[in-house]
Structure 1
């Protein structure tokens, strides 16, 4: 499906963050590029791409933004900061020539927003709802200051609530400069619960931001209103922290007559009115022709104005509505980023902390560390210089320690019981990558498979909660089923046929949700073929293992059909695939990879090779029995994607693996004797 390419400017601003939040709450397929001059910008890590540009006050900003939008094939550009609105409005046709639409109002509308005095004097001509403005000299000439004061002084070209102060006496006028505009104060009406608190604060020379109404209207490119949203807000330092949507249409009565005039003057896209209900009716004191810091919160209430504008730009209908059963509350949020996520972040961070010049080392947690694959992976990770610590998570540490050849006796490995996840002994904030190998087996009971899947959900949720950068999920070729003709590729639809296969597919879906919640975190599912090879915990259920064990005891092996193929992978090659994945940048991790031999073998050939491995110079053909059956299924995966993306391919021939299996099983037989 083609994705609409969206650009968001000033991605580090609160408005930029709110826009990207709204995009992520949309069901529209889109590719988001965040533009800004700060590599650490919070919102950039929710985008698909991040591009560093000069600051918006740089003389070459417009040129660089035009070039970036053209190069990135941006279809719709959404501004994230007040101070660039006028520049973009003046030059929107330049962007349109390159195929980029900017849903932005005319210069006239933006000038009303930027100049509060102009807003009051001009727009009050059409509808007298804006707070009155005063000249400094007018106040000085007033005979009785008590009839006009207190007033408020704001920067003429400011935005939001920055740089304001209260004028309670004529002496306060000395602080007013030519860059200020003086306005009446919109005091909440007497019936408002916050009226007295507001008045008391004024008497203390304080202005509390309560009882504010925010009116957001969205206008499409043809001058048609796409939707409107009104809320009753409490603010702290200019930031709305409590938002209650107002459903009554009467609240709009005083604004409605003004909208047609604004549309005629070039209103396009979002516009926000901020004001209070006073004893003299609605009084508007702020006007902003842009999305706002609570645009994303409005989207959580069902009013996704960003999505509506995008749909309108694509000539598609939208339907904006609000879930009035919800209220909004806001507070600061936190995010951690692996410095390797972004080159600019890495360079800047290493300048601040030169110790980070050393090659980055990962802390890795391995679930199912006592499993067949887990043991060998932990052993290999412990010797890798790129790994600073391996946390091996197991269900029974004491049993695990008794394994003579266990890698847990190696320095750099920390053994933890699975209960450590619940008792505070493991801090996943210190983990860079989770290798999730814990799983039920194909022959496990339904209850065991359900318990395994429950644990997968738990570890995935914890990875999301603690913002773990990388998550590797051990999946299986079983998700393909047996109805596809092999060799199977990653883009084939899943067709799991057993409870075990269903659980593996479910684990892949859970893993994919990690990057949905955290765009700066990455989850990959490795679809392993049948893993074989020597191990302290070697299993006899795999065909080569069971054949070898029987041949060593000179017992007969019966093969059914024999023409079907198996995809067999040496356990050390399986381990190497995980190591190869860890070595590449997290941002380059694919979502799924087939990890197999790349060369499936017929069962009949496998049996003969097993026999020849044990009895290279003796004819033991009588130990092999064949039964005809044409209903057996074949297995085999295409591994070209893994070869290309992580530079991995299996290096151990089947003969080598069979020799290691025979030596391992023979050793176990002698030990038991």
Structure 2
């Protein structure tokens, strides 16, 4: 299934961030586009991309939103603010016509939910459960205290306590207020005494509430529900405890009839309080809430359910709010790279602090020089103590493990250093351990970009398939399995945090004059044999394997270091545009080196089905503008020059 592209509106709001947090549990299935008018919105940096759009109070909001939808091919829009939800619902058809489905109930229902004065009238099936609403002219002294709130208010703003006739007269000077009975907590509620004490002083102590979240399908049938008891501070939930929805069964039975009649779809949040006279409701919001992400952590991921089950009719894991845990909401901080702040362009900050592993190999040494020549500050991390002793400058892997390296100082980590295919099991295991540690610490330190150099060997072999990034991995040896293990670990990290963007580059087999490694690389060894006028024998002449010149490999890594993909986790094949058979390759080499083709012998079994390994580089070319440049003739010429022939 292709990734679903989701636009999260009001990305800097508590609701927007809560939706983002919920999406972290299924991050590999979606691309998130943050939408808002604040270039420093916290949630924007948790998305794959984000766009600056006008305020929803701006006349050009819908016009600009339509442009952004088309540009990013957004399929689902999720509102993050009450006023915005109303506007999106009003323009539901317009937005649907360009391919974006608004995750919202109909406009009429959204509008109805805004008017608290008419709750009992419009949701008449559940009228007895709403706090009583009074007109100013009908208020008698004996029913004080009351709560005054704006008719179209939200998020507990503009609320006042009316305890006397004088209080009422002051509020009446301001238009648009309604007057309601106060839902006093039950006497055994932990917040009761504090609530009553503040009430006598004319204060509305927002210390607790019950939040009921209902989910409705396309037929407006109630399909999922959960409830929590929330401890509040300043009207904001700071402690969230699962609450038995069965305690609210009478209300749920009544309100679902109202919402069925009013054609509810998706999330409906209802806030109330359990009083000595039963459950009393004071607010309805047809959207997700600021604790949606926390409910997801407790097992009730309503965002995932709405996207995949309600919209795409796919089965997902059962929603089950665990009563083993409670949720707490504290303060979070985030580090972001300045170049990622809109509208500042990435090109405005070209120089990077880079940490490079594998700098002693041929690819690593060439890459180190290229990056340094481009003005980057490159530090080296050695996975073997001997390398550090020989080179003096840099860090050893034990420095990383002991916490001596502050990875927060680096913009990019390029992890090239890894055991070779012919290494021992212990060496390969060490590479896995080192890679896990480096990737984990990179995420913890919010390093902006992490590039892991993997291998085409993760795909296994095939007689006719050309492997793309979407193909399943099928590693055939311990080296390939090690690469897959690291890839899987990195992917799991992105489900927990996406402040670091991970790119996995699956390199084709490298053609290079690896002096100390020639005996392990058959193609390179055969090129050297031809240089020395030695006859070579091809046991599988028709075999196709993607082979890439090491200059191209260096160029590809350099390209992705300077052009970070927008996705939090991206896999890209690095391969030549065309893969030749072993026989075709060696014939071209012989011709370039001025050798005769009779130096090439074949020893093939008739009708043998070759074990091919060919990967596609279409994604690298089409999405990221990189393609191989070095031909096999140029590779042969480099070998000739390198060895002095």
Residue 10 (structure 2) aligns with? 10
Residue 337 (structure 2) aligns with? 338
Instruction: From the superposition, tell whether residues 511 and 273 of structure 1 become closer, same or farther in structure 2 (CA, over 3 Å).
Output: closer
1:348-399 alpha-carbon deviations (Å, 9 max, x no partner): xxxxxxxx985421111112333443333223322222x1x11200144565
CA drift of 1:450 comes to: 1.8
Q: What is the CA–CA distance in structure 1 between the aligned matches of 2:73 and 2:366, rounded to whole Å?
A: 46
1:520-578 alpha-carbon deviations (Å, 9 max, x no partner): 7241323141342367x7766445776799999x9988756484777665544432332
Gaps of at least 5 residues in structure 1 are 348-355, 409-413, 667-673
Residue 411 (structure 1) aligns with? none
Q: What is the CA–CA distance in structure 1 between the aligned matches of 2:469 and 2:125, rounded to whole Å?
A: 65
Q: Verify the 8 A CA contact 1:8 1:77 in the aligned structure 2.
A: yes
Residue 227 (structure 2) aligns with? 230
Q: What is the CA–CA distance in structure 2 between the aligned matches of 1:272 and 1:160, rounded to whole Å?
A: 12
Who wins on radius of gyration, i.e. which is larger? 1
Q: What is the CA–CA distance in structure 2 between the aligned matches of 1:578 and 1:91, rounded to whole Å?
A: 45
Residue 325 (structure 1) aligns with? 324
Note if 1:312 corresponds to 2:293: no
Give 1:152's match in structure 2, choosing from 147, 166, 177. 147
1:15-35 alpha-carbon deviations (Å, 9 max, x no partner): 233334434535995555443
Q: Give the 5 Å matches for 1:500-515.
A: 500-513=479-492
Q: Verify the 8 A CA contact 1:547 1:607 in the aligned structure 2.
A: no
TM-score (norm 2): 0.83
CA drift of 1:642 comes to: 4.6
Residue 183 (structure 2) aligns with? 186
Q: What is the CA–CA distance in structure 2 between the aligned matches of 1:543 and 1:325, rounded to whole Å?
A: 58
Note if 1:426 corresponds to 2:392: no
Q: What is the CA–CA distance in structure 1 between the aligned matches of 2:617 and 2:115, rounded to whole Å?
A: 62
Q: Verify the 8 A CA contact 2:573 2:616 in the aligned structure 1.
A: no
SS of 1:157's equivalent in the other structure is coil
CA drift of 1:194 comes to: 2.3
Q: Verify the 8 A CA contact 2:147 2:159 in the aligned structure 1.
A: yes
Note if 1:467 corresponds to 2:437: no
For structure 1, which segment, 117-126 or 233-242, has the greater mean C-alpha deviation from structure 2 after superposition?
117-126
CA drift of 1:287 comes to: 1.9
Q: What is the CA–CA distance in structure 2 between the aligned matches of 1:641 and 1:100, rounded to whole Å?
A: 26
Q: What is the CA–CA distance in structure 1 between the aligned matches of 2:592 and 2:9, rounded to whole Å?
A: 67
Instruction: From the superposition, tell whether residues 313 and 640 of structure 1 become closer, same or farther in structure 2 (CA, over 3 Å).
Output: closer
Q: Which has the higher contact order (CA 8 A, sep 6+)?
A: 2
Note if 1:367 corresponds to 2:367: no
Give 1:594's match in structure 2, choosing from 544, 563, 574. 574
CA drift of 1:189 comes to: 0.9
Note if 1:654 corresponds to 2:635: yes
Give 1:287's match in structure 2, choosing from 275, 280, 284. 284
Instruction: Give the superposed CA RMSD.
Output: 4.2
SS of 2:344's equivalent in the other structure is helix
Residue 376 (structure 1) aligns with? 366
CA drift of 1:102 comes to: 3.7
Q: Verify the 8 A CA contact 1:397 1:416 in the aligned structure 2.
A: no
CA drift of 1:234 comes to: 0.9
Residue 80 (structure 2) aligns with? 80
Q: Give the 5 Å matches for 1:220-619.
A: 220-310=217-307, 311-314=309-312, 320-341=319-340, 344-346=342-344, 358-385=348-375, 387=376, 389-396=377-384, 399-402=387-390, 415-484=394-463, 493-513=472-492, 516=495, 517-518=497-498, 521-533=501-513, 541-543=520-522, 559=537, 561=539, 563=541, 569-587=548-566, 591-595=571-575, 602=582
Q: What is the CA–CA distance in structure 1 between the aligned matches of 2:178 and 2:364, rounded to whole Å?
A: 69
Q: Verify the 8 A CA contact 2:6 2:78 in the aligned structure 1.
A: yes
1:599-640 alpha-carbon deviations (Å, 9 max, x no partner): 658589869979998xx99x9x9xx99794658967666656
Residue 116 (structure 1) aligns with? 116
Note if 1:57 corresponds to 2:54: no
1:406-457 alpha-carbon deviations (Å, 9 max, x no partner): xx7xxxxx61121222333322222221111121111222222122112222
Gaps of at least 5 residues in structure 2 are none
Q: Verify the 8 A CA contact 1:130 1:283 in the aligned structure 2.
A: yes
Q: What is the CA–CA distance in structure 2 between the aligned matches of 1:71 and 1:377, rounded to whole Å?
A: 35
TM-score (norm 1): 0.80
